[in-house]
Structure 1
Amino acid sequence: MEDLFASVKSDLKNNDPAAAAAKIKTYLENNDIPLNIAITGECDAGKSSFLKAFRGIKDKDGGADVVDTTSVYPHPKYPNVTFSDLPGIGSTKFPADEYLKLVGFEKFDFFIIISADRFRENDVKLAKEIQKMKKNFYFVRTKIDNNIKAAQRKKDFSEERTLTQMREDCVQGLKEQGIESPQVFLVSSFHPHLYDFSLLQETFDRELPELKKHVLLLPVQNISLEINNGKKEAFLTKLKFFTLLSAAAGAVPVAAVSAAVDLSLMAAFVR
């Protein structure tokens, strides 16, 4: 890092901000840490729709989930973030007891287990195995908008009470199956601004290793003000780097050069 600072400072002293900017860009590219997120669950749980929402892509077709293949999708703007739509749990080719080995679990930093109804036996088995291997995982119950519509037929309907009851039922059911401290998120892939979608994003932000925190927050769709604040925090983790480089530019008696470097640094993190 110190060598980079010295090299950039030298470029600026030689009135070559383009070379300095190129070195900064190369450093950022080489230090982007790949983030692999696996989306899994039983067939027809809504994995593909959830994945589209998570990537900020509108779901126009609502097609069925693929069963026996893994579909890999880079983020459309940030290729160092990869989403994998894994095969359904417990299918003939992917039995639950061999599932993690067959899908290559070591490639993934997170598992998101998707269910459109109650969490089933295969979901629980997978969670237990991931838990043994000390991998991070989350339970996500999708299609909550359908559940809310059904509950609205009741005379004493309360959306808040309905969501609370659904969440508590899921958590309690998982605990009864031996899952320690289960984290359950209720989402609608067609309405990502509602329910727990923002909470899911915030949970990733809080629990990701520090080095990967900014990699996740910057590319994923900003759904709420809370996530925008998180994005700002991720930006501030690089403040020391920015400050030193900007100071190096400021040491050069050419105001335009310092301003250009400040702008290029800001642009690198807001794009």
Structure 2
Amino acid sequence: MDTPHDCESVEEIKAALQKNNQALAMEKIKEYVDKQNNIPLNIAITGETGSGKSTFINAFRGVKHGDAGYAPTGVRECTKVPTPYTHPNYPNVKLWDLPGVGGKHFPADQYLNDVGFENYDFFIIISDTRFRENDVKLAREIQRMKKKFYFVRSKIDNDIRAQKLCQSEFSEAEIKEQIKEDCIKCLQEQGIQSPQVFLVSSFELHLHDFSLFIETLERELPEHKRNALLFAMPNINQQIINKKKEAFQANIKWYAALSAAVAAVPLPGLSVGVDAALLAHVAKQYAVSFGLDVPSLENLAKSTGVPFKDFMASILSPLAATKITPDLIIKVLTQCASAAALMAAEEGSRFIPFLGIPAAMALSFTTTYRMLNFILNELADDAQRVFEKALGCNTTE
């Protein structure tokens, strides 16, 4: 469902087009698209010192030790003040590493005021053992102030490994269920009703409850914040890839409308040039979000042990793992017979008296709409192939 702002933007664009005010229509479309791509999302990560907050932040952002923006980790209290860590590809998404609740610098009863409670969209309370008194105090205060919070039980891989070593009959599912039930019971005994607890390993985000956690966030976040979260997410399963594709698909009509508005300007070659630049800009967004840019693929190779060349061998689109430029887009377009024919028809129709401009606008809209769908489908398919390669073709986890 569209937000009131979305509906207002749509009406403004329609009104501008109906009045044949192409410049205003272009301005409104650009404003709308820019706002959709730059909605701020501020996520607070809190918990007691040593619970794994910084490790979680690094994993969520796909940042490894030695990378720019790496959040320092360790058993000592690393974080003295609320510290923002910007997503490397989506600067509108920030994860805030908050000081350990209950530490000597931030007593629990003053914590929310001291860390700037109002700055965050929701809170993730992390613990590597049972959730303690300070965690519960914090949750109650967040609840009182009517914001969302979630309990993440971290380092679950350590617990599973330890239990496996000391049990002759080992069941990972039973151990995880026992840990979750223990956390929930502990929180309920301290007065938290129906607590949501998610078991997570920051070193294996595709396993355990992380997918369920993201599904919960998507369901409970305001609609205009969901895409900001979704686009910044690592591709931990096929569902994430599909959801990204659907979200990108929903915005294609706006880029096509912008292309149509440009086509109304009777200058030879203008529309093709703008369309190529527009398509290049959008294709870069797709490639980065799907993890098909070179830095993302190199990081994936390091974290999975799969050689970079193996990922490259599974990629088919000429727009993946390369520098996407308007010239490359035009090359791809000319190799697609239907797109080339539509572009030629648009240029030819532009100077037909009376009917030329409306025809050029319709053809430009159609060309951009079809090409963006084509590019999106190809890159989404490549993302799926890379994902399968990363997990050794095992996508059942």
The CA deviation at 1:226 is 2.1
Do the aligned partners of 1:113 and 1:138 also contact (CA within 8 Å) in 2?
A: yes
The CA deviation at 1:5 is 3.7
TM-score (norm 2): 0.59
The CA deviation at 1:24 is 3.2
* Correspondence for 2:85: 73
Q: Which amino acid aligns with 1:257?
A: S
Structure number with bigger Rg = 2
Counterpart Cα distance in 2 of 1:113 and 1:8: 48
The CA deviation at 1:258 is 2.4
* Correspondence for 1:203: 216
Counterpart Cα distance in 2 of 1:91 and 1:20: 54
- What value does the CA root-mean-square deviation take over the aligned residues? 3.3
Counterpart Cα distance in 1 of 2:58 and 2:25: 37
Indicate whether 1:63 and 2:55 are aligned. Answer: no
Counterpart Cα distance in 2 of 1:257 and 1:236: 18
Residue 359 (structure 2) aligned to one of 240, 246, 253: 253
Which structure: greater helix fraction? 2
The CA deviation at 1:93 is 1.8
In structure 2, relative to structure 1, the CA distance for the partners of 1:214 and 1:132 (3 Å cut) is same
Deviates more, 1:54-63 or 1:233-242: 233-242
Residue 227 (structure 1) aligned to one of 230, 240, 249: 240
* Correspondence for 2:392: none
Do the aligned partners of 1:41 and 1:47 also contact (CA within 8 Å) in 2?
A: yes
Residue deviations 1:146-201, cap 9 Å, x none? Answer: 10111112011100111111111111111111011111111111111111111111
Q: Which amino acid aligns with 1:126?
A: L
SS at structure 2 position matched to 1:99: helix
SS at structure 2 position matched to 1:39: strand
Question: 5 Å matches for 1:8-157?
Answer: 24-31=29-36, 32-59=38-65, 63-64=73-74, 66-153=78-165, 154-157=167-170
Percent identical among aligned pairs is 52
Any unmatched runs of 5+ in structure 1?
A: none
In structure 2, relative to structure 1, the CA distance for the partners of 1:160 and 1:38 (3 Å cut) is same
The CA deviation at 1:97 is 0.4
Residue deviations 1:93-128, cap 9 Å, x none? Answer: 211001001101111011000111111111111011
The CA deviation at 1:263 is 6.1
SS at structure 1 position matched to 2:179: helix
In structure 2, relative to structure 1, the CA distance for the partners of 1:263 and 1:34 (3 Å cut) is farther
* Structure with larger RCO (C-alpha < 8 A, sep 6+): 1
Do the aligned partners of 2:124 and 2:149 also contact (CA within 8 Å) in 1?
A: yes
Any unmatched runs of 5+ in structure 2?
A: 1-8, 264-345, 347-356, 381-397
SS at structure 1 position matched to 2:232: coil
Q: Which amino acid aligns with 1:52?
A: N
The CA deviation at 1:253 is 1.5
Counterpart Cα distance in 2 of 1:21 and 1:217: 27
SS at structure 2 position matched to 1:58: coil
Counterpart Cα distance in 2 of 1:233 and 1:42: 38
Do the aligned partners of 2:253 and 2:369 also contact (CA within 8 Å) in 1?
A: no
Do the aligned partners of 1:59 and 1:190 also contact (CA within 8 Å) in 2?
A: no
In structure 2, relative to structure 1, the CA distance for the partners of 1:59 and 1:174 (3 Å cut) is farther
The CA deviation at 1:229 is 3.1
SS at structure 1 position matched to 2:358: coil
